Structure 1
Protein backbone atom coordinates (compact mmCIF):
# COMPACT_ATOMS: atom_id res chain seq x y z
CA UNK A 1 0.00 0.00 0.00
CA UNK A 2 2.87 2.34 0.89
CA UNK A 3 4.47 1.74 -2.52
CA UNK A 4 1.23 2.63 -4.30
CA UNK A 5 0.91 5.84 -2.27
CA UNK A 6 4.53 6.83 -2.96
CA UNK A 7 4.12 6.08 -6.67
CA UNK A 8 0.92 8.16 -6.76
CA UNK A 9 2.67 11.12 -5.12
CA UNK A 10 5.56 10.88 -7.59
CA UNK A 11 3.19 10.75 -10.57
CA UNK A 12 1.21 13.73 -9.27
CA UNK A 13 4.37 15.76 -8.67
CA UNK A 14 5.66 14.85 -12.13
CA UNK A 15 2.40 15.90 -13.81
CA UNK A 16 2.33 19.19 -11.88
CA UNK A 17 5.96 19.85 -12.82
CA UNK A 18 5.25 18.93 -16.46
CA UNK A 19 2.29 21.33 -16.50
CA UNK A 20 4.43 24.10 -14.99
CA UNK A 21 7.19 23.36 -17.52
CA UNK A 22 4.70 23.78 -20.39
CA UNK A 23 3.39 26.98 -18.84
CA UNK A 24 6.93 28.35 -18.52
CA UNK A 25 7.93 27.09 -21.96
CA UNK A 26 4.86 28.50 -23.75
CA UNK A 27 4.15 31.63 -21.68
CA UNK A 28 5.41 34.03 -24.37
CA UNK A 29 3.03 32.42 -26.89
CA UNK A 30 -0.01 33.60 -24.91
CA UNK A 31 1.30 36.77 -23.26
CA UNK A 32 -0.35 39.12 -25.78
CA UNK A 33 -3.29 38.94 -28.13
CA UNK A 34 -0.98 39.24 -31.15
CA UNK A 35 1.33 36.47 -29.88
CA UNK A 36 -1.65 34.16 -29.31
CA UNK A 37 -3.09 34.69 -32.80
CA UNK A 38 0.36 34.41 -34.41
CA UNK A 39 1.03 31.15 -32.55
CA UNK A 40 -2.37 29.77 -33.54
CA UNK A 41 -1.56 30.20 -37.23
CA UNK A 42 2.04 29.02 -36.88
CA UNK A 43 1.26 25.86 -34.95
CA UNK A 44 -1.15 24.43 -37.54
CA UNK A 45 1.08 25.44 -40.47
CA UNK A 46 3.85 23.32 -41.89
CA UNK A 47 5.23 21.67 -44.97
CA UNK A 48 4.22 18.21 -46.13
CA UNK A 49 5.63 15.64 -43.72
CA UNK A 50 6.24 18.19 -40.95
CA UNK A 51 4.77 17.22 -37.59
CA UNK A 52 2.90 19.90 -35.67
CA UNK A 53 3.47 20.86 -32.04
CA UNK A 54 0.11 19.63 -30.74
CA UNK A 55 1.09 20.31 -27.10
CA UNK A 56 1.48 23.99 -27.95
CA UNK A 57 -1.75 23.91 -29.98
CA UNK A 58 -3.70 22.53 -27.00
CA UNK A 59 -1.99 25.00 -24.65
CA UNK A 60 -3.57 27.92 -26.55
CA UNK A 61 -7.11 26.77 -25.75
CA UNK A 62 -9.24 27.12 -22.65
CA UNK A 63 -10.17 23.67 -21.28
CA UNK A 64 -13.77 24.14 -22.48
CA UNK A 65 -12.85 25.62 -25.88
CA UNK A 66 -14.49 24.59 -29.13
CA UNK A 67 -13.41 24.68 -32.76
CA UNK A 68 -16.46 25.14 -34.96
CA UNK A 69 -16.25 24.79 -38.74
CA UNK A 70 -19.38 25.72 -40.63
CA UNK A 71 -20.54 25.17 -44.17
CA UNK A 72 -23.12 23.38 -46.24
CA UNK A 73 -23.84 19.76 -45.37
CA UNK A 74 -24.69 17.03 -47.88
CA UNK A 75 -28.30 18.25 -48.03
CA UNK A 76 -27.13 21.76 -48.89
CA UNK A 77 -28.12 23.25 -45.51
CA UNK A 78 -25.70 25.26 -43.41
CA UNK A 79 -24.51 23.48 -40.31
CA UNK A 80 -21.81 23.67 -37.68
CA UNK A 81 -19.62 20.94 -36.24
CA UNK A 82 -18.33 21.30 -32.65
CA UNK A 83 -14.91 19.92 -31.79
CA UNK A 84 -12.50 20.07 -28.88
CA UNK A 85 -8.86 20.80 -29.72
CA UNK A 86 -8.18 17.04 -29.38
CA UNK A 87 -11.05 16.28 -31.78
CA UNK A 88 -9.53 18.71 -34.28
CA UNK A 89 -6.15 16.99 -34.02
CA UNK A 90 -7.78 13.59 -34.58
CA UNK A 91 -9.84 14.76 -37.56
CA UNK A 92 -7.35 17.08 -39.29
CA UNK A 93 -3.87 16.44 -37.92
CA UNK A 94 -2.97 13.63 -40.30
CA UNK A 95 -4.30 15.55 -43.33
CA UNK A 96 -2.27 18.65 -42.43
CA UNK A 97 0.95 16.60 -42.32
CA UNK A 98 0.20 14.50 -45.40
CA UNK A 99 -0.76 17.45 -47.62
CA UNK A 100 1.19 20.38 -46.26
CA UNK A 101 -0.82 23.31 -44.97
CA UNK A 102 0.05 26.91 -44.33
CA UNK A 103 -2.67 29.22 -43.06
CA UNK A 104 -1.77 32.89 -43.30
CA UNK A 105 -3.67 35.77 -41.73
CA UNK A 106 -4.18 38.52 -44.32
CA UNK A 107 -6.44 40.88 -42.37
CA UNK A 108 -7.83 41.32 -38.88
CA UNK A 109 -10.58 43.28 -37.17
CA UNK A 110 -10.58 43.25 -33.38
CA UNK A 111 -13.19 44.25 -30.84
CA UNK A 112 -12.39 44.20 -27.13
CA UNK A 113 -14.48 44.80 -24.04
CA UNK A 114 -12.39 44.57 -20.89
CA UNK A 115 -11.05 40.99 -20.76
CA UNK A 116 -12.95 39.55 -23.75
CA UNK A 117 -11.95 39.96 -27.38
CA UNK A 118 -13.56 39.00 -30.68
CA UNK A 119 -11.26 38.77 -33.70
CA UNK A 120 -12.39 38.39 -37.31
CA UNK A 121 -9.23 37.00 -38.89
CA UNK A 122 -9.26 36.63 -42.66
CA UNK A 123 -6.98 33.85 -43.87
CA UNK A 124 -5.53 32.29 -46.97
CA UNK A 125 -4.44 28.64 -47.09
CA UNK A 126 -1.55 27.19 -49.09
CA UNK A 127 -0.11 23.68 -49.35
CA UNK A 128 3.46 25.05 -49.56
CA UNK A 129 5.06 28.32 -48.46
CA UNK A 130 6.13 28.89 -52.05
CA UNK A 131 2.63 28.58 -53.56
CA UNK A 132 1.60 31.79 -55.27
CA UNK A 133 -2.15 31.24 -55.14
CA UNK A 134 -4.13 30.05 -52.10
CA UNK A 135 -6.29 26.96 -52.49
CA UNK A 136 -8.75 28.32 -49.91
CA UNK A 137 -9.69 31.52 -48.10
CA UNK A 138 -12.07 32.25 -45.27
CA UNK A 139 -12.68 33.98 -41.99
CA UNK A 140 -11.88 32.72 -38.50
CA UNK A 141 -14.08 34.23 -35.80
CA UNK A 142 -11.86 33.85 -32.75
CA UNK A 143 -13.12 34.57 -29.23
CA UNK A 144 -10.46 35.07 -26.58
CA UNK A 145 -10.28 35.69 -22.84
CA UNK A 146 -7.51 37.38 -20.90
CA UNK A 147 -7.65 36.05 -17.35
CA UNK A 148 -5.10 38.60 -16.10
CA UNK A 149 -2.24 36.16 -16.60
CA UNK A 150 -2.53 35.03 -20.20
CA UNK A 151 -4.77 34.88 -23.28
CA UNK A 152 -6.98 31.84 -23.86
CA UNK A 153 -8.67 30.89 -27.11
CA UNK A 154 -12.27 30.23 -26.10
CA UNK A 155 -13.69 29.38 -29.54
CA UNK A 156 -12.76 29.47 -33.19
CA UNK A 157 -15.77 29.56 -35.49
CA UNK A 158 -14.92 29.62 -39.19
CA UNK A 159 -16.28 29.58 -42.68
CA UNK A 160 -14.54 29.13 -45.98
CA UNK A 161 -15.15 31.50 -48.85
CA UNK A 162 -17.24 30.13 -51.73
CA UNK A 163 -18.07 31.44 -55.19
CA UNK A 164 -21.58 32.23 -53.92
CA UNK A 165 -20.28 33.84 -50.72
CA UNK A 166 -16.99 35.67 -51.29
CA UNK A 167 -15.27 37.39 -48.39
CA UNK A 168 -16.74 40.91 -47.99
CA UNK A 169 -14.38 43.77 -48.85
CA UNK A 170 -14.59 44.95 -45.24
CA UNK A 171 -12.58 41.91 -44.17
CA UNK A 172 -9.94 42.03 -46.92
CA UNK A 173 -6.65 43.94 -46.73
CA UNK A 174 -6.73 47.55 -47.82
CA UNK A 175 -4.15 48.11 -50.58
Structure 2
Protein backbone atom coordinates (compact mmCIF):
# COMPACT_ATOMS: atom_id res chain seq x y z
CA UNK A 1 0.00 0.00 0.00
CA UNK A 2 1.35 3.38 -0.94
CA UNK A 3 1.37 6.11 1.72
CA UNK A 4 0.02 8.69 -0.73
CA UNK A 5 -3.03 6.46 -1.24
CA UNK A 6 -3.91 6.69 2.46
CA UNK A 7 -3.92 10.50 2.37
CA UNK A 8 -6.65 10.37 -0.27
CA UNK A 9 -9.10 8.26 1.77
CA UNK A 10 -9.04 10.11 5.10
CA UNK A 11 -12.28 11.99 4.44
CA UNK A 12 -15.39 11.35 2.41
CA UNK A 13 -14.63 14.44 0.36
CA UNK A 14 -11.07 13.41 -0.58
CA UNK A 15 -12.19 9.88 -1.41
CA UNK A 16 -14.98 11.06 -3.75
CA UNK A 17 -12.68 13.58 -5.47
CA UNK A 18 -9.99 10.91 -5.80
CA UNK A 19 -12.47 8.51 -7.40
CA UNK A 20 -13.38 10.99 -10.12
CA UNK A 21 -9.76 12.01 -10.68
CA UNK A 22 -8.39 8.48 -11.05
CA UNK A 23 -10.54 7.58 -14.07
CA UNK A 24 -9.72 10.65 -16.14
CA UNK A 25 -7.04 10.86 -18.78
CA UNK A 26 -6.05 11.23 -22.39
CA UNK A 27 -6.33 8.44 -24.99
CA UNK A 28 -3.81 5.71 -24.23
CA UNK A 29 -2.81 7.28 -20.91
CA UNK A 30 -2.63 4.51 -18.30
CA UNK A 31 -4.81 4.88 -15.22
CA UNK A 32 -3.68 3.96 -11.72
CA UNK A 33 -5.81 0.83 -11.38
CA UNK A 34 -4.11 -0.17 -8.12
CA UNK A 35 -5.35 3.09 -6.61
CA UNK A 36 -8.81 2.60 -8.11
CA UNK A 37 -9.04 -0.83 -6.42
CA UNK A 38 -7.70 0.70 -3.18
CA UNK A 39 -10.72 3.04 -2.99
CA UNK A 40 -13.15 0.11 -2.78
CA UNK A 41 -13.69 -2.44 -0.06
CA UNK A 42 -12.72 -5.91 -1.37
CA UNK A 43 -16.39 -6.99 -1.30
CA UNK A 44 -17.74 -3.80 -2.92
CA UNK A 45 -20.01 -3.65 -5.92
CA UNK A 46 -20.44 -1.15 -8.73
CA UNK A 47 -24.05 -1.26 -9.83
CA UNK A 48 -25.21 0.60 -12.91
CA UNK A 49 -28.74 0.96 -14.18
CA UNK A 50 -28.38 0.18 -17.87
CA UNK A 51 -30.56 -1.10 -20.67
CA UNK A 52 -30.55 -4.85 -21.24
CA UNK A 53 -30.85 -6.45 -24.70
CA UNK A 54 -34.64 -5.95 -24.58
CA UNK A 55 -34.32 -2.23 -23.81
CA UNK A 56 -35.42 -2.62 -20.21
CA UNK A 57 -33.51 -0.63 -17.59
CA UNK A 58 -32.17 -2.93 -14.87
CA UNK A 59 -29.25 -3.01 -12.43
CA UNK A 60 -25.99 -4.47 -13.74
CA UNK A 61 -23.62 -5.70 -10.99
CA UNK A 62 -19.84 -5.66 -11.35
CA UNK A 63 -16.98 -5.78 -8.87
CA UNK A 64 -14.25 -3.14 -9.01
CA UNK A 65 -11.84 -5.84 -10.25
CA UNK A 66 -14.23 -6.83 -13.04
CA UNK A 67 -14.59 -3.15 -13.93
CA UNK A 68 -10.81 -2.85 -14.29
CA UNK A 69 -10.68 -6.02 -16.41
CA UNK A 70 -13.51 -4.91 -18.71
CA UNK A 71 -13.11 -1.14 -18.82
CA UNK A 72 -9.46 -0.65 -17.93
CA UNK A 73 -8.11 -1.98 -21.20
CA UNK A 74 -10.58 0.15 -23.13
CA UNK A 75 -9.71 3.35 -21.22
CA UNK A 76 -5.95 2.68 -21.24
CA UNK A 77 -5.43 1.75 -24.87
CA UNK A 78 -8.53 1.48 -27.05
CA UNK A 79 -10.33 4.75 -26.47
CA UNK A 80 -9.74 7.29 -29.23
CA UNK A 81 -10.90 10.24 -27.15
CA UNK A 82 -10.03 11.37 -23.66
CA UNK A 83 -12.34 10.62 -20.73
CA UNK A 84 -12.93 12.95 -17.80
CA UNK A 85 -15.59 13.07 -15.12
CA UNK A 86 -16.36 15.78 -12.59
CA UNK A 87 -18.81 16.15 -9.79
CA UNK A 88 -21.29 19.02 -10.15
CA UNK A 89 -23.44 18.44 -7.08
CA UNK A 90 -23.64 16.41 -3.93
CA UNK A 91 -26.00 15.50 -1.12
CA UNK A 92 -24.06 13.89 1.72
CA UNK A 93 -24.99 12.40 5.08
CA UNK A 94 -22.64 10.91 7.66
CA UNK A 95 -23.70 8.99 10.73
CA UNK A 96 -21.03 7.44 12.92
CA UNK A 97 -18.75 5.37 10.68
CA UNK A 98 -21.04 5.25 7.67
CA UNK A 99 -21.77 7.77 4.95
CA UNK A 100 -24.07 8.09 1.98
CA UNK A 101 -23.31 10.43 -0.91
CA UNK A 102 -25.60 11.24 -3.81
CA UNK A 103 -23.13 12.59 -6.33
CA UNK A 104 -24.11 14.18 -9.64
CA UNK A 105 -21.39 13.98 -12.25
CA UNK A 106 -20.73 14.84 -15.86
CA UNK A 107 -18.50 13.00 -18.35
CA UNK A 108 -16.48 14.64 -21.12
CA UNK A 109 -14.58 13.35 -24.18
CA UNK A 110 -11.87 16.04 -23.85
CA UNK A 111 -10.40 18.70 -21.56
CA UNK A 112 -11.66 21.30 -24.05
CA UNK A 113 -15.24 20.04 -23.74
CA UNK A 114 -14.87 20.08 -19.96
CA UNK A 115 -13.57 23.68 -20.07
CA UNK A 116 -16.49 24.64 -22.35
CA UNK A 117 -18.99 22.78 -20.14
CA UNK A 118 -20.10 20.36 -22.89
CA UNK A 119 -20.68 16.96 -21.23
CA UNK A 120 -21.79 13.99 -23.28
CA UNK A 121 -23.58 12.40 -20.32
CA UNK A 122 -24.59 12.95 -16.71
CA UNK A 123 -25.11 10.38 -13.95
CA UNK A 124 -26.38 10.38 -10.39
CA UNK A 125 -24.29 8.08 -8.20
CA UNK A 126 -25.40 6.70 -4.86
CA UNK A 127 -22.18 5.94 -2.99
CA UNK A 128 -22.18 4.09 0.33
CA UNK A 129 -19.01 4.40 2.40
CA UNK A 130 -17.68 2.95 5.65
CA UNK A 131 -14.92 4.16 7.96
CA UNK A 132 -12.75 1.51 9.58
CA UNK A 133 -9.09 0.60 9.78
CA UNK A 134 -8.27 4.33 9.89
CA UNK A 135 -9.75 5.19 6.48
CA UNK A 136 -12.90 5.52 4.37
CA UNK A 137 -13.87 2.76 1.89
CA UNK A 138 -16.42 2.70 -0.91
CA UNK A 139 -18.72 -0.16 0.01
CA UNK A 140 -21.08 0.14 -2.97
CA UNK A 141 -21.54 2.54 -5.85
CA UNK A 142 -24.90 2.56 -7.59
CA UNK A 143 -25.56 4.90 -10.54
CA UNK A 144 -28.27 5.89 -12.95
CA UNK A 145 -27.99 7.99 -16.09
CA UNK A 146 -29.73 11.35 -16.26
CA UNK A 147 -32.39 11.61 -18.98
CA UNK A 148 -35.57 13.54 -19.72
CA UNK A 149 -37.42 10.72 -17.96
CA UNK A 150 -35.05 10.95 -14.96
CA UNK A 151 -33.89 14.59 -14.59
CA UNK A 152 -31.55 15.74 -11.82
CA UNK A 153 -33.49 16.81 -8.71
CA UNK A 154 -32.60 20.45 -8.04
CA UNK A 155 -31.54 19.78 -4.42
CA UNK A 156 -28.91 17.26 -5.67
CA UNK A 157 -26.98 20.18 -7.16
CA UNK A 158 -25.92 21.39 -3.70
CA UNK A 159 -22.36 21.55 -2.44
CA UNK A 160 -19.60 19.52 -4.04
Task: Flag whether TM exceeds 0.5 (same fold).
Answer: yes
Bigger fraction of residues in helix: 1
Please, which moves more after superposition, 57-66 or 161-170? 161-170
- In the alignment, structure 2 segments of 5+ residues that lack a partner are none
Partner Cα separation in structure 2 for residue 89 and residue 58 of structure 1:
8
Q: Give the TM-score of the pair, scaled to structure 2.
A: 0.89
Offset of residue 148 of structure 1: 5.2
Of structures 1 and 2, the one scoring higher in RCO (CA 8 A, sep 6+) is 2
Aligned to 1:152: 137
State the SS of the aligned residue for 1:42: helix
State the SS of the aligned residue for 1:30: coil
RMSD (CA atoms): 1.5
Find out whether 1:61 has 2:40 as its counterpart.
Answer: yes
State the SS of the aligned residue for 2:66: helix
Find out whether 1:103 has 2:85 as its counterpart.
Answer: yes
Equivalenced residue count is 153
Q: Could you tell me which of 109, 123, 127 is aligned with 1:127?
A: 109
Could you say if the C-alpha distance between residues 149 and 23 of structure 1 is closer, same or farther in structure 2, counting changes exceeding 3 Å? farther
Runs of 4+ in 1 over 4 A off after TM superposition: none
Please, which moves more after superposition, 142-151 or 92-101? 92-101
Q: Give the TM-score of the pair, scaled to structure 1.
A: 0.82
Superposed, 1:131-142 pairs within 5 Å as: 131=113, 132=116, 133-142=118-127
Partner Cα separation in structure 1 for residue 91 and residue 134 of structure 2:
23
Offset of residue 66 of structure 1: 0.5
State the SS of the aligned residue for 1:38: helix
Partner Cα separation in structure 1 for residue 39 and residue 23 of structure 2:
12
> 1:112-157: CA deviations, max 9, x gaps?
1111000000000001111120000011110000115000000110
Offset of residue 31 of structure 1: 1.1
